Structure 1
């Protein structure tokens, strides 16, 4: 489970989430401001605004969901429907459901942190607690039914909000409670774990025999097995859930009845604990609360701007008289159903409780651990990241010069590593990670990209040892890149895009260098389109000059040029063709600059500015590559042994600063970009680096500094990091304020247990990074019984609490002091807030629990009486005003004091090792970390290229010849074929065929004698008569594509071209064996009204539903009758050339944009011919002698002209 933000999540799944979130927040604010200046109302989203300032927190007593889990819920729906006739219909429905929520185990990620951490020690006054990522979880189920259900609570709160009388519900009992036990209190004796007397003897095979308790004294079993455990009672009953609950498994602890009774007492009339009629859980309403915090400066919670947690606090202190460390076990226990139990009887030896989370910690004797001292010890260990001083000092003071040289290398952060040369010999080498103890300037000799990383090795001539630092960095970058498929694929696509565009542009530049007019690009053509349009008349031999109408043009009157330019191209000799290969000097002259141009184009956003991860990218491949490279510049994913080459560099309880070596990062990036080099000379890599440098130097809109890249950082290795994983880190300037520009922390992570890492872009000790502050996180503070507790007394300091704004609180000069005198309670005092013994007066100190109802009441009373007042315009008002003790108020009392450590880096920067971390001089400005390995990586070829660097020259005979004239013969006339090849895009030229040239079937055509089909016949009717030998019958209707007029062609007053529907319906015997070859419809075309249309120039015909056929229109010329005919052939889409007629039911098609001849009256009728062709013999081919043609009756087409009335 992730961290609950309480609204829209701002989580960014990236190691750079701190800088990305800052940049996007600034970009959003800049855009809102720009919209306001432009007069556009900007929509403010509450989810985008952080309601809490850094360091602030908000406490709630509980967050209860609308419906609790456990009991069955019913939802009923009623609906009354009234018909216009007055009839009514009442509908009712009811559905039962259960709310799905954790019950016997927690989902993964539910626990954010615990205190004390597992295995870590603390004093006996500390109360263990658990921080949960779900703020609703402790109240998902009912801890006490006496407070009503969550639905009843919701309805009551709604009624109170609407003005109803009653008291607001300020507390609610959680179903999760934190208990701590000594292991002896939970350890079962051997006879109860195994054998005939075992309490698990009746359980199923799901419980492994012999039974063994876990390290936290739990036993895992199903609920069904739990009910079979003998001599044991449990609050887990069938009433807590559906029948399927019995198959659920959980961890259970077995508590002795006396201890169970002491954990769930009731309150008597005096408010003291007493054994009631049954277990009582109301006291635990003070032991859980919700905290909403600002996550800035926190490694874990900082993934969200706002984080909300629920916290469950224990009520039991550790042993008070232990002289040696004692192991305690903390359990997050479910108390669901406890109030419905009876007290354990005489037959019950144990009470089984479900433990949803548990861990062990150690309770130390008093005064053995001090958090303030731990913070101070960290501050005293401030140094740089390198070998310990006790290792370097003897070498530095040695008289041996060689040892002094080794000490110097250790001072610079180097260590000795085992190294195997390329020839196989094993030797030693110097290695230093990216984190250096001193400033390392960009190396002057390392400026060229590498193809192998070997050329990045540096020989230490004084020691005679090879420095493989940057060679290792190069190999690490390449290896990491090879392990990321998405990055590798995107990088290769990006390289292809850059190389293709650059190569094309280089070739164009080479050609244009010979003759600028030899090649016209699209941009050139579009740029000259205005001139071309204005010169159109001259193309047709006009007598005037379009560009200068007053000046006659000379012969030939053709502006584009003479005959050679129009028609003649001389064949080029080999020497006349420039070398266009990639390795050609002619191409290499232009390629580097063109590659950079291509890379910069792809690195833009869709708006045309630099893509900076706050806008939309022009290239998604560049987006992937850029994000991956920036992650590597933040050293994300780099193996730990490469970052810290020797474990002695970071010893326990140490704070170590370092500088990030820009040369190391350069080599890392170069290795990552080396993939996909298919050309040897890698200009594409250099172009990508140029684009990356542009991004690094780019200042995004709304910001006053370029993109932040880390230059410095620190490691903190301490138990404090384990105790407080969200230890808050603040970077303050010389005035003690947070930086006004940029994110203060660029990367902040817990890299492993007890080790924190943080990156910055400011020099430690500069004006912008003058101090470093570590503060206990607000949601991971310790909770304690009191200031002090032992076997004789408990001493409580009531803390000051306020119900006024922070500005008013600061008026109270004593706000950091305890409120009044300390309260001291002894074991025999009445009205006690702490219970030492399970049996009063026994002196065993075996219970050690606080009594929250009395403790919270004492706190509230003291706050009401002694907090004092402040003056508000002459009126005295109280600092604290409340009448109810709540779990949030009680949690503030149980909180141990919050400690922070402020490290003054300014004083350390002027002396000692810290003085060498920053660059020379006193610069506070963030460093711009651009890449320096910008030289092109090249491969020495075995056979050198012999390409010529000289360009072919333009020959004189290439010039145009204006001696020719371009005059057409006066008798010239374009042929129809020529005209048909240059039609407009919306005009269709149909092929023309002579009727005499068409093959005719050798078998005589047979004509059907059935009556003619009337045009008004319904297209869906099925005639009953048959044609020749029972051949299929075709019902054909020709109409406009107008609903309601499927039997006529209708023309409006404009008579525009329209779509014509040819409806063809087949009726045939089910046993028909006809093999259909084609169906033809033939229309006589001519200019006058008796013809349906003059000609057809539309886009063609297509089938409407039966896509297994095609329609081929053809123009037929009948020279004998001197007439043209439009023949529409419906052919099957079959490799055989025919289909069985029984498989066809209709052949309807549409003839697009046909121009119909308009009759000079309201309507006219036109005849349309049609026929069908079949195979004569099913066993022979489709030759002309095997075709049977059956003519259909003519179809009458009715044409209606709406320009006339029906009477005309």
Structure 2
């Protein structure tokens, strides 16, 4: 099978800009309004002033432009990522905060020396005064558990203590008007290793413009709501690759220009204003892989051999277990056989005589389309009446195939264990008895009645239907003594009035004889099947439902609420997982190559050495296995020969799907991280989706799919790296400007993935913080053409990818850098290949 990854793009146009400057800088302003007028030429001014100069008194108005300084307005934060309080696999997520005010990071100048002209086309992006610092547990002395603890300050808290061993920012101007604010104290060594360098600050903030595409499908994203508008985004510079908790603080760096790396941070803690904070936890990453890597490992085994995705027990020398038991076989008595390739496993089988012997077992999920199962005694479409009738003896091996016998016994056990299922079977058979008595009585009066006439009389005699009909015809007229000899009278009562005084045949014999007439059997078994699988509700049942819908357990009529059918869609979800997959090794792939992380162990792979942790299996559903399961459930409550006959008719009348059923089993811890994982199959309709356990998903499809699609749930827009925790990488995207396109107009080709990645090495990451073993803080470098660091390497790789007619600057802009870090939901397409190798 061929596979390839693509992006799932939202129906939105997202434009990343370098900055969004405010209309005016903070400070005190004065506006002066003056008027001057002059008389027309040659007119007499009539005053002592010179002609043409008649000034009025100027009007002056003073005002002040302010901006947030120590705290944010309540509605300033649009969203954060990772979510506050979340715990997950975030080794590839670069923490960031989205602000509702698009110009907020540039409302203030970092310092007077960093003030640039207030024009977005000045060519030099303004350095933002905000930064997002990410700390791990144990790095902040006042918050050792990374719980988001901060020191609260108010205007009424009193005077400052005389001696505080902290450094404060060098702020110009007076204090803002905030009543309360928060601070954190950062040790100098931690600040030096975590804070961005002065030249890196401008690349960690950008603005975002989101526009909706017309006639686009709705976007159901997780975590961050994508909506139209203009926002500001502040990125962190630390990938949380370590295990444990992290806390992110949006801090003000105004007044800290002289302390930013690589400058000396001093010898005292730095007291920073914390404008917003949230916490998150990174799960153990040493044994887990991300979405893309996990799916690649799942399908890699099928690149050369597509049968590796079959639901079979691959030869591995392991012992098999019996369905529902954990006792392995003590030896391996099986000669080389192709039955393993057909989905069979060896099991321990105990006969009714008590003898223990090996046998073959296969569940309803098979890797091939099985041959039709012969009916018992060549009896046409008759049902299997016992488990023994489902046994298959293999002469060349001298053992039994108990697959269908186990299905029959399981169906019977399910019906006995569930009173509702047993009651449905008994209700259908009871309705058959009642209809058969009425049909026998009617045929004694009308021996030549055809099937249609018999069906009409059986429909009119049912209690609820008769009651609704009487209501329509007029209940009072019937109660007042209307005609009681019309065709609506009870056929059984009319037959009793005209019956002979004696009848040599017993009642049971008469009913059995009536049943064996084709016209009677066809009508009655259809009505019995409608009890279990209600057809389209007719007008009588609709009238009844408007009055008083009866409870299913108390209804004596053949009509029951829809959805209570006893067909395989109702039975299959009740089948224990060990009957569907008899050996846990059928789901798991071999151990991936050394050095590749595996998922955490799950309940299906404990004790299976030499096997991996994930697996994807494709199968076909054996309709005969489901038929035996259904026959076993129908066998409950049979007491007489007529019960057997009625049950045979009921089994034949239940609907049988002519469309082949196929499906997949996905066993991976990825389902715990993505419970809303989207799985689609082309050319089919989903028949059933069932979460077997927290790590196993089963899906059934009506038809044979041409391709399978696995979609990562939409997660809005986030930034970060791709790849495994040990080898983070950045996927390269096209971000050039065509000369033929007017400046400022977005290029529709920008943002497309090239398919290559830049692996982050030691030159792109700073030394570990506080003695940690992992490099997490990005080293962007100077950003010049001949510089070193992430910006320089990204620019070099992107210039190699530029198309003809594209121009690319020597260094990335903040918006272009954010575009390289952008992560979109991924889509994996699996395509079947024909014998000639072409995908289909």
Query: TM-score, normalized by length of structure 2?
Result: 0.51
**Cα deviation per residue 1:210-256 (whole Å; 9 max; x = unaligned)?**
xxx9xxx66799999xxxxxx999xxxxxx999xxxxxxxxxxx996
User: Take 1:146 and 1:816, find their aligned partners in 2: how far apart are those partners?
Assistant: 29
Aligned: 1:624 with 2:553: no
State the Cα deviation string for residues 876-935 of structure 1 (Å, max 9, x = none): x999xxx99779x9366433996856554313999xxxxxxxxxxxxx9xxxxxxxxxxx
Distance between the aligned counterparts of 1:786 and 1:411, measured in 2? Answer: 37
Greater C-alpha Rg: 1
Give SS of 1:386's match: coil
1:845 and 1:575, CA in 2 relative to 1: closer, same or farther beyond 3 A? closer
Superposition map of 1:284-299 within 5 A: none
Match of 1:646 among 568, 577, 583: 583
Alpha-carbon spacing, 1:416–1:436, altered in 2? closer, same or farther (3 Å):
same
Instruction: Indicate how the Cα distance of structure 1 residues 648 and 837 shifts in structure 2: closer, same or farther if over 3 A, else same.
Output: closer
Alpha carbons of structure 1 residues 485 and 709: separation in structure 2 relative to 1, 3 Å? farther
- 2:627 maps to which of 657, 662, 666: 666
Residue 692 (str. 1) matches residue 654 (str. 2): yes
Number of the residue aligned with 2:410: 476
Provide the rounded CA distance (Å) in 2 between the counterparts of 1:176 and 1:503.
85
Contact 1:378 1:655 in 2 (8 A): no
Q: What does the per-residue CA deviation read over 1:914-968, in whole Å, with 9 as the maximum and x for residues that have no partner?
A: xxxxxxxxxx9xxxxxxxxxxxxxxxxxxxxxxxxxxxxxxxxxxxxxxxxxxxx
Mapped pair 1:506 → 2:467: no
**Aligned position for 1:604:** 535
Pick aligned residue for 1:595 from 494, 513, 524: 524
After superposition, the Cα gap between the structure-2 partners of 1:482 and 1:370, relative to the gap in structure 1 and judged at 3 Å, is closer
Measure, in 1, the Cα distance between the counterparts of 2:382 and 2:299. Answer: 46
Distance 2:209 2:750 in 1: 31
1:309 and 2:222 equivalent?
yes
Q: How far apart are the structure 2 equivalents of 1:576 and 1:728?
A: 68
Matched, 1:458 2:419: no
1:629, 1:481 → 2: CA distance? 12
Q: Kindly provide the CA deviation profile for residues 262-287 of structure 1, in whole angstroms up to 9, marking residues without a partner as x.
A: 6985896xx6439xxxxxxx957789
SS at match of 1:659: strand
- Contact 1:747–1:760 (8 Å) recurs in 2: yes
Match of 2:602 in 1: none
SS of 2:221's partner is strand
State the Cα deviation string for residues 846-889 of structure 1 (Å, max 9, x = none).
661377999999999x999x98899xxxxxx999xxx99779x9
* Cα deviation digits, residues 1085-1122 of structure 1 (max 9, x gap): xxxxxxxxxxxxxxxxxxxxxxxxxxxxxxxxxxxxxx
Kept in 2, the 8 Å contact 1:657–1:713? The answer is yes
Q: What's the offset of the Cα at 1:689?
A: 4.0
2-structure distance, mates of 1:141, 1:689: 64
- Once the two structures are superposed, the pairs formed by residues 579-590 of structure 1 within 5 Å of their partners are 579=507, 584-586=512-514, 589=517
Return the offset for 1:433.
Answer: 1.3
Give per-residue Cα distances to partners, 1:1135-1186, cap 9 Å, x unaligned: xxxxxxxxxxxxxxxxxxxxxxxxxxxxxxxxxxxxxxxxxxxxxxxxxxxx
Instruction: Report the secondary structure of 2:358's partner residue.
Output: strand
Q: Deviations over 1:88-136 (max 9, x none)?
A: xxxxxxxxxx99x99999999x9797455xxxxxxxxx44679xxxxxx
Measured against aligned partners, the alpha-carbon deviations of 1:294-330 in whole angstroms (never above 9, x if no partner) come to: 99xxxxxxxx9963223599845569xxxxxxx7126
Residue 849 of structure 1 aligns to a residue in which SS?
coil
Q: Relative to 1, partners in 2 of residues 1:491 and 1:605: Cα closer, same or farther, differing over 3 Å?
A: same
Cross-structure match for 1:186: 138
* Secondary structure of 1:713's aligned partner: strand
1:467 maps to which of 401, 411, 427: 401
Output one character per residue of 1:1003-1059: Cα deviation in whole Å (capped at 9) or x when no partner. Answer: xxxxxxxxxxxxxxxxxxxxxxxxxxxxxxxxxxxxxxxxxxxxxxxxxxxxxxxxx
Shift in CA distance, 387/750, structure 1 to aligned 2, threshold 3 Å: same
- 1:155-554 equivalences under 5 Å are 181=136, 186=138, 257-258=187-188, 261=191, 272-273=200-201, 283=204, 307-310=220-223, 315-316=236-237, 328-329=242-243, 331=245, 333=247, 335=249, 355-362=279-286, 375-383=299-307, 384-389=310-315, 407-446=337-376, 447-450=381-384, 452-482=386-416, 484=418, 487-513=421-447
Deviation at 1:675, TM superposition (A): 4.0
What is the total number of aligned residue pairs between the two structures? 599
Provide closer, same or farther for how the CA distance between residues 662 and 824 of structure 1 changes in structure 2, counting only shifts above 3 A. closer
**How much does 1:642 deviate?**
1.1
Equivalences for 1:785-1184 in 2 at 5 Å? 785=721, 797-800=732-735, 817=754, 836=766, 848-849=777-778, 890=818, 893-895=821-823, 900=828, 902-907=830-835
8 Å contact from structure 1 (residues 372, 899) kept in 2: no
Cα contact 1:449–1:670 (8 A) shared by 2 = yes
Q: Tell me which of 500, 503, 507 is aligned to 1:575.
A: 503
Seen in structure 2, the aligned counterparts of structure 1 residues 604 and 255 have a Cα distance that, compared at 3 Å, is farther
Contact 1:178 1:331 in 2 (8 A): no
CA shift in 2, pair 1:574/1:406, >3 Å: farther
3-state SS, counterpart of residue 475 of structure 1: helix
Distance in 2 of aligned mates of 1:577 and 1:289: 85
TM-score for both structures, normalised by structure 1 = 0.38
Pick closer, same or farther for the CA change 1:607–1:850 going to 2, 3 Å.
farther
When residues 761 and 104 of structure 1 are mapped into structure 2, their CA distance, relative to the original with a 3 A threshold, is: closer
Residues 412 and 636, structure 2, Cα contact 8 Å, conserved in 1: yes
8 Å CA contact retained: 1:179, 1:330: no
CA contact (8 A) 1:650 1:717 kept: yes
Instruction: State the distance in 2 between where 1:255 and 1:687 align.
Output: 81
CA–CA distance in 1 between the matches of 2:620 and 2:647?
27
Instruction: Mark the CA change 1:750 to 1:782 in structure 2 (over 3 Å): closer, same or farther.
Output: farther
- 1:477 Cα shift? 2.7
Could you say what secondary structure the match of 1:273 adopts? Answer: helix
Q: Which has the higher contact order (CA 8 A, sep 6+)?
A: 2
Cα distance change, pair 263–490 in 1 and its aligned pair in 2 (3 A):
farther
CA contact (8 A) 2:408 2:628 kept: yes
Describe the SS at the equivalent of 2:507.
Answer: coil
Displacement of 1:666: 0.9
Alpha-carbon distance change, 655 to 826 in structure 1, aligned in 2, over 3 angstroms: closer
- Label 1:444 to 1:811 Cα distance change in 2 as closer, same or farther (>3 A): same
Distance 1:523 1:795 in 2: 70
Which whole-Å CA distance do the structure 1 matches of 2:131 and 2:438 have between them? Answer: 70
**Which SS does the other structure have where 2:734 is aligned?**
coil
Alpha-carbon distance, 1:663 to partner: 1.5
| Structure 2: runs of 5 or more not aligned | 1-5, 16-73, 108-127, 153-163, 167-177, 226-233, 260-264, 319-331, 467-493, 543-548, 591-614, 784-789
